Amino acid sequence: MRWSITGYGVFAIVYALLLFNFPGWTSLVTLVMLAIGFLFYYQNEKNKRAAAQAKADADLLAANAEIEERNKKEAAQREQVNREVLAKDAAETLRYFHDTVLAPCLVIDSNIWMNEDYNDFFHVLRRSAIEQSTQLVLYGPQFDEICNIKKTVGYEGKKNRRARIAINRIEAFQKDDLLRIEPLAINPDNTAHADPLIIRLLVAEAKTAKTSLCFVSDDKELRIRVREHLRRVALNRFTIVEMDSLLRNCANIIKAENLELIPQVV
């Protein structure tokens, strides 16, 4: 309760009336009125502090609400920027696959087909092949080489598992009419070793077809050999892809698909 000027006036009148009616009780009346006045003053100050605290709490809640709302807006803006960056990165990566990876002559090294960590790459490769209506060509000796690895090591071995992964991937592309194997003999070549034949194939393509070439490999030594031979005959019409720099972008495409930033391809 507020102790106003009117309150003080009433207090003074009551005090005067008590003194007039009980002149012998001046000290007692004074003490009683002082006590009552103190109680009124204490209650008034208590109410003031409570009102001030309530206002401070309300101001704090309002400030926190404003900060939270600002943080939400900033988070939404960051999310929108991130989505735009992701969509742009995905579009650029798909364009790179369309224009560069899916070259008229594309050779994917056996170690790529056999790597269990490269699902994202083959997902994007399949998507790009469908969008471009392109059929990959797997070099026959590569397929024989992968089959030989599967046959010559134990089923529980790492190499056997990697070979089975490659064969499953190859068959999945073949079933979707996205891959053909050539040349492929009726009887498998049990001694096939594809690396030197890959170099000859790329060099021959560079000499005769005069088209762009792309070679994807994790084998650094083989990349060095291929690059050296192609420089002599293919000029700048070839690209050698290292997976380390491409996998992150492939993962971004899948993320963009899941967020529906780009359409998925069935």
DSSP string for residues in 163-226: HHHHHHHHHHHHHTT-EEEES--SS--TT--HHHHHHHHHHHHHHHT---EEEE-S-HHHHHHH
Calculate ∠ Cα 155-161-166, nearest 5°. 130
For 263, the 3-state DSSP assignment is coil
Q: For the residues of 75-137, what is the DSSP string, one character each?
A: HHHHHHHHHHHHHHHHHHHHHHIIIIIT-SEEEE-HHHHT-TT-HHHHHHHHHHHHHHT--EE
CATH code, 216: 3.40.50.1010
Assess if residue 238 is contained within a domain: yes
Identity of residue 41: Y
Q: In this structure, are 94 and 188 located in the same domain?
A: no
Q: Chain-centre distance of CA 96, in angstroms?
A: 20
**Final residue of a structural domain among 43, 68, 101:** 101
pLDDT at 46 (0 to 100): 84
Q: Which of 85, 101, 117 is the last residue of a domain?
A: 101
- The pLDDT of residue 167 is above 60: yes
Say if 265 falls within a structural domain. Answer: no
Question: Average pLDDT for residues 75-88, to the nearest whole number?
Answer: 86
Q: Rounded distance, CA 222 to CA 228, Å? A: 10
User: 122 and 13 share a domain?
Assistant: no
* Domain region containing 94: 1-101
Give the integer Cα–Cα distance in Å for 212 and 217.
17
Mean pLDDT of 58-86: 85
Q: How far out from the chain centre does Cα 203 lie?
A: 39
Q: What is the mean pLDDT of residues 93-109?
A: 92
Residue 1 pLDDT exceeds 50:
no
% pLDDT > 70, the chain: 81
Domain assignment present for residue 264? The answer is: no
Give which of 150, 163, 151, 157 is closest to 116, Cα–Cα: 163
214 forms beta bridges with: 106, 239
Q: Among residues 68, 101, 134, which one ends one of the domains?
A: 101
Q: For residue 91, what are its two tokens?
A: 């579009």
Does any domain span residue 263? no
Structure tokens given for 251: 């993962």
Longest dimension (CA), the chain: 134
165 and 189 together in one domain:
yes
User: pLDDT (tens digit, 9 = 90+) per residue, 16-68?
Assistant: 666 666 665 556 556 666 667 677 777 888 888 888 888 888 888 888 888 88
pLDDT in tens, 112-139: 999 999 999 999 999 999 999 999 999 8
Report whether pLDDT(99) > 50: yes
| Residue range 231-266, pLDDT digits in tens | 888 666 889 998 887 898 999 999 999 988 887 765
- The number of distinct structural domains making up the chain is 2
254's tokens: 């899948």
